[in-house]
Amino acid sequence: MAEFRTFDDRDGFIWWNGELKPWREAKPHVLSHGLHYASTVFEGERAYGGKVFKLTEHSQRLIESGRILGFEIPYTLDQIDAATNMVVEANGLHDAYVRPIAWRGSEMMGVAAQQTRINLAIASWDWPSYFSTEARMRGIRLQIADWRRPSPQTSPTRAKATGGYMICTMSKHRAENEGYDDALMYDWRGQVAEATGANIFFAKDGKLHTPVPDCFLNGITRQTVIGLARERQIQVVERAIMPEELAGFDEAFLTGTAAEVTPIAEIGPHRFQPGRICQTLVEDYARATRA
């Protein structure tokens, strides 16, 4: 059995407010505002062959997420890009996951926290691909989540903020406890939205259909896959998708930094057969990440 390693007890380095620190020393105070009030934003990135895919797009979204939550990350786009590359290199990583995170510190404790320091840390660890192409093409199983993505009038849905993932963790835990791989979430209107950490696409009659990202993130992988599909002359239709339409689609798949392009075999009572479109985009995305 492989040795289990917690994420606070590892060798390596984490970039922390402008310098590389030994991994085990990168610890915020328990009274950090970000821990108590979710004033925290983050990114999920992947390095392929030592190069972070779409790095600048991720760094820009991190900065914008902070601004949506009312704070300015005290580093420029170029500095964040450079720090990210430094972390991957310092840890000697080839294929890796990268986690930048920015949060309000411990200078104030209460809902109001205008005088808190904005901290930025970047960690990276080894993360090979989850599946071979053959295994991925068998498809995963999704449950229908009880929780729904909120209205943008009730939550800052354009920010990749930690607080937005509470219901995702709850939904994924329930799905896994009941034998599924993930969960499909509807939005507050009852429309199909996304999985717990990835966007979703459906295929029918040679076209792709995907929900409009008006209350969840327009993922960077999602945008990449739309571009790859259009290069293949596959029409992509962004629209509201209702649950009763799921029975009429032929193929379905998830897109995300961790998921990459992952075909779906089942969503609740609905069955899908990963086919030509899924196979094409799995392969095209794999090539794009290592170009």
pTM for the complete prediction? 0.95
Domain end among 126, 157, 180: 126
* Residue 1 maps to a domain: no
- Please report which confidence band the pLDDT of residue 130 belongs to, taking 50, 70 and 90 as the band edges: low
- Please report which confidence band the pLDDT of residue 276 belongs to, taking 50, 70 and 90 as the band edges: very high
Share of the chain above pLDDT 70, in %: 96
Q: Do residue 195 and residue 266 come from a single domain?
A: yes
pLDDT digits (tens, 9 = 90+) for 202-217: 999 999 999 999 999 9
Domain CATH number, residue 33 = 3.30.470.10
Name the active-site residue from 21, 27, 51, 160.
160
User: What domain range is 82 assigned to?
Assistant: 13-126
Q: Do residue 107 and residue 186 come from a single domain?
A: no
The token pair at 203 is 């295929």
* Residue 4 maps to a domain: no
pLDDT digits (tens, 9 = 90+) for 42-93: 999 999 999 999 999 999 999 999 999 999 999 999 999 999 999 999 999 9
Q: Do residue 169 and residue 250 come from a single domain?
A: yes
- Please report which confidence band the pLDDT of residue 1 belongs to, taking 50, 70 and 90 as the band edges: very low
Q: Do residue 142 and residue 282 come from a single domain?
A: yes
* Residue 7 maps to a domain: no
Q: Do residue 244 and residue 184 come from a single domain?
A: yes
Clarify whether 160 is annotated catalytic. yes
Instruction: Give me the number of domains the chain comprises.
Output: 2
